């Protein structure tokens, strides 16, 4: 968006919106334009466009690959327990099927509650990249230490601590990306993060298959080698990435002062004061998030979506039900994740280009429902593996669209956005705890696929209700009625967003 277009946009707000109600008061607005740095006001369209492209290119080259690599390691370290099951950890630690399910789910007991304070803290840290990378090095150490466990109880303790250390990363990374990218850029970057997740899933299985060949070397089991090698690699990469990750736009050392001004302004021009310029208190933003009805519905949507995404925790087990060898089963886990990564990018590219989310979520839900039915009704290996090829992207795809929605619909104040991102991921992630106990009754997994199908139907209903409500809010904003606008402000939109002619989009 050019500087001239931004100026026109801020001066085009309806004069009918000039109201004097006690709540939701909106004045004739040149407020946003007045906050535009003087350094930008005299830039030509060509100069602004050139600077904008340069900033996006820098961040794409530094932030995305770095966060992507860290997320690959995050998912490998989190999912390697599923691969370790195929390498004998349950026999070595004398675990039952139920105990293994507890070992999987206990990670989320540590993971979920620590996300919220961590994301509130990151809004006040001048070097968020350093903070995230420090957490990476810590969880790498903990993951490597898993190789030393001798009992089921020790495994539970290590997994719970690992979850607490990993709590920093995902909600922090989503919030961090939303501080740098505009609404037409964010979707593809979130897709990039999830593509990295699928690379981690795909190559995690391939890597686990290779490490299996070390079984017995130096009297160390294959599953122990898996934790040692992957954990050690995570520590080293975390330290290196700490030297690369930039700060927030307003204090980034990789940008010139003029570039910083552009980087901040292009975010502020959409929703108002951003990181480094907003004065809203952290706890005030947190309580604003809790009082926003949109957050409640998005949490419920994410709970239902995360329940569907729980197949990632047991995907090697699902593939193993096809009765191939352990090595072949691990290799067969790779193609579905590679396909999912490609679909994620296409999904979010289309979402950014067409500014849409709701139809894409409904398409993914519809596909996933059909794919849940296939393994419940047939033992045909080809049909079952086909469903496993499709399920990773169909069941997890809506999560990308939900995080995009969250960061654009609950954009301000920034502390509210940070809290909302953590709350949606933390509370929504509780589904991973109870869903871990559904994966039994091989090979049909009736309890798992039946429950996930029910979650898909409820998800479709909830997101449809959400769509109706945000469209109602847009009608209120378009009405020019002071009382109607005041209701929208009470529902979570800031006065500054109204001045910027902001609307709920994508639905």
- Tell me the pLDDT band of 279, cut-offs 50, 70 and 90: low
**What are the boundaries of each domain within the chain?**
60-499
Confidence at residue 159, expressed as pLDDT on a 0 to 100 scale? 93
Whether 37 has a pLDDT exceeding 60, the answer reads yes
- Tell me the pLDDT band of 277, cut-offs 50, 70 and 90: low
- Tell me the pLDDT band of 35, cut-offs 50, 70 and 90: low
> To the nearest whole number, what is the mean pLDDT of the chain?
84
Confidence at residue 317, expressed as pLDDT on a 0 to 100 scale? 79
Whether 254 has a pLDDT exceeding 90, the answer reads no
Helix (H) or strand (E) holding 433: helix 431-435
**φ, ψ at 19 (rounded to 5°):** -125, 165
Confidence at residue 218, expressed as pLDDT on a 0 to 100 scale? 87
3-class DSSP assignment, residue 73: helix
Rounded to the nearest 5 percent, the helix, strand and coil shares of the chain are: 75, 0, 20
The Cα–Cα gap between 428 and 426 comes to 5
pLDDT digits (tens, 9 = 90+) for 152-166: 999 999 999 999 999
- Tell me the pLDDT band of 29, cut-offs 50, 70 and 90: very low
pLDDT digits (tens, 9 = 90+) for 39-98: 888 888 888 889 989 999 998 988 888 998 998 888 777 778 877 887 789 899 999 988
Any idea what DSSP says for residue 278? -
- Tell me the pLDDT band of 34, cut-offs 50, 70 and 90: low
Q: What's the average model confidence in pLDDT over 400-424?
A: 85
Please, what CATH class does the domain formed by 60-499 belong to? mainly alpha
- Tell me the pLDDT band of 11, cut-offs 50, 70 and 90: very low
pLDDT digits (tens, 9 = 90+) for 303-332: 999 999 888 777 877 888 888 887 788 788
Which tops the pLDDT comparison, 359 or 498?
A: 359
Q: DSSP alpha helices (H): ranges in 274-380?
A: 282-290, 293-309, 315-320, 326-332, 334-354, 358-377
Q: What's the average model confidence in pLDDT over 474-501?
A: 86
Confidence at residue 421, expressed as pLDDT on a 0 to 100 scale? 83
Is residue 249 a contact partner of residue 260, using CB atoms and an 8 Å limit?
A: yes
The Cα–Cα gap between 295 and 289 comes to 7
CB environment 1-12: b (16+ within 10 A), e (fewer): bebeebbebbee
Handedness of CA 107, 112, 118, 122 (dihedral sign): positive
Confidence at residue 373, expressed as pLDDT on a 0 to 100 scale? 95
**φ, ψ at 380 (rounded to 5°):** -60, 120
The Cα–Cα gap between 328 and 318 comes to 13
Of 18, 67, 496, 434, which Cα lies nearest the Cα of 267? 496
**φ, ψ at 356 (rounded to 5°):** -135, 150
Whether 398 has a pLDDT exceeding 70, the answer reads yes
pLDDT digits (tens, 9 = 90+) for 171-223: 888 888 888 888 888 888 888 888 887 777 777 777 777 887 888 788 888 88
Q: What's the average model confidence in pLDDT over 471-497?
A: 88
The Cα–Cα gap between 2 and 444 comes to 56
Confidence at residue 84, expressed as pLDDT on a 0 to 100 scale? 85
Is residue 351 a contact partner of residue 357, using CB atoms and an 8 Å limit?
A: yes
Whether 6 has a pLDDT exceeding 80, the answer reads no
Lowest mean pLDDT among 231-235, 361-365, 463-467, 498-502: 498-502
Q: For residue 129, what are the CA distances in angstroms to 168, 190, 238? A: 11, 17, 10
How many alpha carbons lie under 13 Å from residue 307 in its C-beta half-sphere?
Answer: 25
The Cα–Cα gap between 129 and 246 comes to 6
Whether 118 has a pLDDT exceeding 60, the answer reads yes
Most confident of 19-33, 419-433, 475-489: 475-489
């Amino acid at each position: 968006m050019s500087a001239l277009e931004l100026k026109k946009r801020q001066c085009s707000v309806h004069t009918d919106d000039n109201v004097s109600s006690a709540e939701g008061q909106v004045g004739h607005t040149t407020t946003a334009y007045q906050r535009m740095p003087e350094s930008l006001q005299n830039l030509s369209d060509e100069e602004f466009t050139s600077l904008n492209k340069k900033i996006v290119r820098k961040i794409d080259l530094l932030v995305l690959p770095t966060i992507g690599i860290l997320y690959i390691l995050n998912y490998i370290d989190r999912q390697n327990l599923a691969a370790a099951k195929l390498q004998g950890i349950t026999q070595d630690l004398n675990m039952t099927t139920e105990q293994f399910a507890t070992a999987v789910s206990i990670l989320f007991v540590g993971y979920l509650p620590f996300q919220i304070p961590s994301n509130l803290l990151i809004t006040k840290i001048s070097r968020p990249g350093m903070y995230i990378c420090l957490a990476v090095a810590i969880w790498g150490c903990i993951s490597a230490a898993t190789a030393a466990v001798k009992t089921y109880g020790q495994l539970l303790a290590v997994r719970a601590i690992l979850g607490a250390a990993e709590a920093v990363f995902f909600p922090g990374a989503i919030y961090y990306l939303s501080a740098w990218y505009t609404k037409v850029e964010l979707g593809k970057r979130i897709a990039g993060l999830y593509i990295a997740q699928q690379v981690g899933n795909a190559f995690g299985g391939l890597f686990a298959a290779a490490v299996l060949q070390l079984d017995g070397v130096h009297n160390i089991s294959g599953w122990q080698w898996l934790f040692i090698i992957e954990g050690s690699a995570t520590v080293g990469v975390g330290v290196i990435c700490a030297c690369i990750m930039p700060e927030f736009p307003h204090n980034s050392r990789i940008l010139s002062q003029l570039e910083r001004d552009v980087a901040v302004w292009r975010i502020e021009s959409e929703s108002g004061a951003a990181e480094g310029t907003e004065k809203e208190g952290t706890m005030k933003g947190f309580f604003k998030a809790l009082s926003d009805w949109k957050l409640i519905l998005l949490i419920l949507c994410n709970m239902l979506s995360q329940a569907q995404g729980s197949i990632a925790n047991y995907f090697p087990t699902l593939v193993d039900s096809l009765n191939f060898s352990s090595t072949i089963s691990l290799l067969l886990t790779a193609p579905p994740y590679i396909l999912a990564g490609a679909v994620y990018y296409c999904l979010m590219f289309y979402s950014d280009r067409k500014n849409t989310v709701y139809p894409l979520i409904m398409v993914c839900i519809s596909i996933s429902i059909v794919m849940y039915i296939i393994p419940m009704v047939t033992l045909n290996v080809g049909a079952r593996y086909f469903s496993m090829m499709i399920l990773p992207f169909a069941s997890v795809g809506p999560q990308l669209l939900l995080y995009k929605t969250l960061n654009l619909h609950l954009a301000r104040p920034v502390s509210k956005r940070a809290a909302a991102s953590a709350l949606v991921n933390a509370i929504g992630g509780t589904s991973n705890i109870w869903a871990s106990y559904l994966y039994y009754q091989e090979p049909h997994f009736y309890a798992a696929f039946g429950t996930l199908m029910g979650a898909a139907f409820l998800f479709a209903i909830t997101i449809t209700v959400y769509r109706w409500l945000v469209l109602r809010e847009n009608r209120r904003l378009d009405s020019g009625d002071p009382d109607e606008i005041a209701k929208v402000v009470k529902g979570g939109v800031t006065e500054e967003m109204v001045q910027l002619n902001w609307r709920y989009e994508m639905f």
